[in-house]
């Protein structure tokens, strides 16, 4: 294609500009509205530090769970041939479109203390998931893992599987094919899926508050802490905590862009 002079349709430019501003204005609002005078006090408060720690631990844990369980599921959906595959894909990715609070209620009914899984779990092993850190991780995994599954599945689908044939014909055992050919080739979607999952887990609110509750220091993650501050007229605290989340997310997104740009 020849490089023609790039001319932008004015209507397109106006609409795109409005879209960009739509995203930028709230950020400006957060920055200008922050209690810069006493921000260090707010963000080093016990509530904030506990919530941030909890958020990071729970979101990382659910990302690891997504890697362990989500990857085999993505593999099965991409490569497996079995009846009901479409249905399975629909069911496992449903949480992406479900309101998270509905997810939380569904989780309670299954894994809650009186849930049909939770009840035997409690009586047999004494394990209770709701209103615990484990519950936070379960709620976040439920909502976030589908992003990992769907991204990795599409990565697996779009890779040229005949490269695996080539590797086998050159004498590579299945394990070697996976480690040296498949994994490096799907690496970009694996990385993207991991980041998306982590970001979604970090921001999870509805399912967490429904299933795990809002116990400071136990299940109160950042989004929960922000919501509580906001609704109890502690606006300064809410804004400061929000800024922290924005900064953490922004760092990850920029880092990801750099990595995928290098591909």
Partner 1 sequence: MSAVLDADIQLRLSRLSLDVAFSVAPGEVLALLGPNASGKSTTLRALTGLLPLDGGRVVLDGTVLEDPAQRVKVAPEKRPIALMFQDYLLFPHMSAVENVAFGLRCHGVDKKTAREKALQALTRLDLAEAAESRPGSMSGGQQQRVAMARALVTDPKLLLLDEPLAALDVSVKTTVRRLLRDALRQSRAANILVTHDLVDAVALGDRMIVIEAGAVVQTGTPAEVTARPRSGYVADLTGVNLLRGTGHGTVLDLDDGAQLTCASPAAGPTFAVIAPAAVAVSRQRPEGEGVNTWRGRVSAVDLMGDRVRVRVEGTPAITAEVPPAAVDQLKLDEGGDLWVCLSPAAITTYPQ
Please give the residue ranges that form the binding site for partner 1 (CB under 8 A). 160, 162-163, 165-173, 176, 180-181, 184-185
Nearer to partner 1, 78 or 167 (CB): 167
Nearer to partner 1, 5 or 162 (CB): 162
Angle 222-231/46-65 helices, nearest 10 degrees? 140
Phi-psi region of 103 (alpha: psi -120 to 50; beta: other; left: phi over 0): alpha
Alpha-carbon distance of 7 to 23, in angstroms, equals 25
Q: How many CB atoms lie within 10 A of CB 72?
A: 11
Nearer to partner 1, 10 or 261 (CB): 261
- Exposure of 188 by Cβ count < 10 A (0-12 exposed, 13-18 middle, 19+ buried)? middle
Alpha-carbon distance of 263 to 258, in angstroms, equals 9
Q: Which residues are CB-neighbours of 85 under 8 A, at least 6 positions away?
A: 77
- Give the shortest CB-13-to-partner 1 separation in angstroms: 34
- Give the shortest CB-164-to-partner 1 separation in angstroms: 9
- 151: tokens are 């991204």
- Give the shortest CB-192-to-partner 1 separation in angstroms: 16
- Give the shortest CB-153-to-partner 1 separation in angstroms: 20
Nearer to partner 1, 113 or 180 (CB): 180
Nearer to partner 1, 169 or 233 (CB): 169
- Give the shortest CB-178-to-partner 1 separation in angstroms: 13
On whether the CB atoms of residues 126 and 161 are closer than 8 A, the answer is no
Nearer to partner 1, 135 or 155 (CB): 155
Q: Which residues are CB-neighbours of 57 under 8 A, at least 6 positions away?
A: 133
On whether the CB atoms of residues 143 and 225 are closer than 8 A, the answer is no
- Give the shortest CB-158-to-partner 1 separation in angstroms: 13
Determine the distance from the C-alpha atom of residue 74 to the mean position of all C-alpha atoms in its chain, rounded to a whole number. Answer: 16
């Amino acid at each position: 294609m020849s490089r023609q002079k790039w001319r932008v349709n004015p209507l397109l430019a106006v609409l795109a500009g409005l879209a960009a501003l739509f995203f930028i204005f709230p950020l400006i609002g957060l920055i200008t509205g922050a209690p810069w005078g006493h921000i260090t006090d707010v963000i080093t408060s016990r509530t904030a530090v506990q919530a941030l720690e909890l958020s990071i631990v729970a979101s990382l844990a659910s990302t690891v769970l997504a890697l362990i369980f989500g990857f085999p599921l993505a593999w099965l959906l991409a490569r497996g041939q079995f009846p009901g595959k479409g249905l399975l894909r629909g069911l496992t990715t449903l949480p992406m479109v479900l309101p998270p609070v509905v997810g939380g209620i569904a989780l309670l009914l299954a894994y809650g203390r009186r849930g049909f899984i939770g009840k035997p779990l409690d009586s047999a092993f004494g394990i209770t998931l709701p209103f615990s850190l484990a519950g936070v991780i379960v709620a976040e995994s439920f909502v976030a893992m589908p992003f990992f599954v769907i991204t990795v599945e599409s990565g697996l689908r779009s890779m040229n599987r005949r490269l695996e044939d080539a590797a086998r014909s050159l004498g590579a055992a299945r394990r070697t094919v996976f480690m040296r050919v498949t994994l490096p080739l799907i690496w970009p979607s694996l990385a993207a899926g991991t980041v998306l999952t982590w970001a979604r887990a970090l921001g999870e609110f509805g399912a967490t508050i429904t299933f795990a509750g809002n116990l400071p220091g136990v299940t109160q993650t950042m989004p929960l802490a922000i919501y509580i501050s906001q609704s109890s007229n502690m606006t300064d605290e809410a804004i400061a905590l929000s800024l922290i989340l924005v900064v953490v997310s922004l760092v990850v997104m920029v880092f990801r862009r750099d990595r995928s740009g290098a591909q």
